[in-house]
Structure 1
């Protein structure tokens, strides 16, 4: 069995499916994945379930990983949003959790080095540029957030926070975080409540 080269901190918040994909990418066999899921994570699963997950992420024999174009496109989206300063390990996890894309750590590292070489050099030198956050007062800027860890069960969480006071503006559960009818209805309810509109709205690309 490959050595435990993945730190527990890197696995925090990951679902069983995401853990299976991660261990498969690290070279674990099906039987080894069964063992490490039970021993390390206390998750009992079956070979059939593992094969089903690997088929979904194109990691079974005879299938390739997601295309390089897909991976680069999602990395560019992450760079334009909240993942600007994230390193390749965190980018790898974001690709898997936020976008359902399977890629190796090495592939993500090489892509970041090519398309974001300046930030990669700053991360290596531990001299990251911190973005300046400006908020002029209540209702000036709000932040939207989506939580998809319960998506396999048909539950998606949508929330928003006031950037000035950190007050939770809404926290809703629905069947999708990408349908405009849900996002727009939550936003419209909020602007009716405050009888105005925020100057800025921040959120991840969807």
Structure 2
């Protein structure tokens, strides 16, 4: 047996996507393309026609053949001949069979007896009724039941197939619309970032920003959008070369840079240092049991001010809370 795992996985993915899409449409969370009103009317009429045709066909079969499986196995015989595409042979009706029994009984009793002659007369009329019934059943099956079956087994299957195809195309269109909408939102966000702080970042950082803003887009889509909006930047980043910027400080003690080294923190050693941006002079480099306490970092800063007798104009740190006291000390020294 040819078992295609990839096709099975693809079909399962499509089924899951369709289920999610139908659920979102029912909850009003997804856009649904409305079909043409005339087409909607035709679909509704087709459903009504199909339902009534099934009811009429079923009830007519019950009327013409009340017992589905009689002593001749009528339904089974019809089914077999229909599948073999052969003509169904003529069957003896119950009235004809009754007439045949009456004739045989009359012959046994004697045609000359009153009982026998009466049976012969009734048997003739029973055979006529049976023939008329057989003709009626045959005519009804050809002229009435066959068109109904042809509609259900032929036309309605074609209609159902086309409807499924149309529904799948509508779902695909809605998915494309949703993707285009999300792509436009992502493009707007990327353009905003490119004109702001995100101009030096790549598509991975931009994808993270889109996720943070609630935009559900694929990373590949963000990459293509960024390549369209910033082709020069994308080409430069593909070269995987560092863009070295020029650092400039006006004078000594214009700016101090403070940071901590926490790689040895698991061993109980927390290093904190400060360097002057102009002269590269190390203002302090201390090791202690913690570098997360603002009082400790502030103490380093105040001690450096007392030792040097000078205060920097700017302090460059990260946004950690441990640097708050150092910043406050700098402000107080500038003011007073």
Structure possessing the higher radius of gyration over alpha carbons: 2
Tell me the TM-score normalized by structure 2. 0.26
| Larger RCO (CA within 8 A; separation ≥ 6) | 1
TM-score by length of 1: 0.41
Whose strand fraction is larger, Structure 1's or Structure 2's? 1
Decide which structure has greater helix share.
2
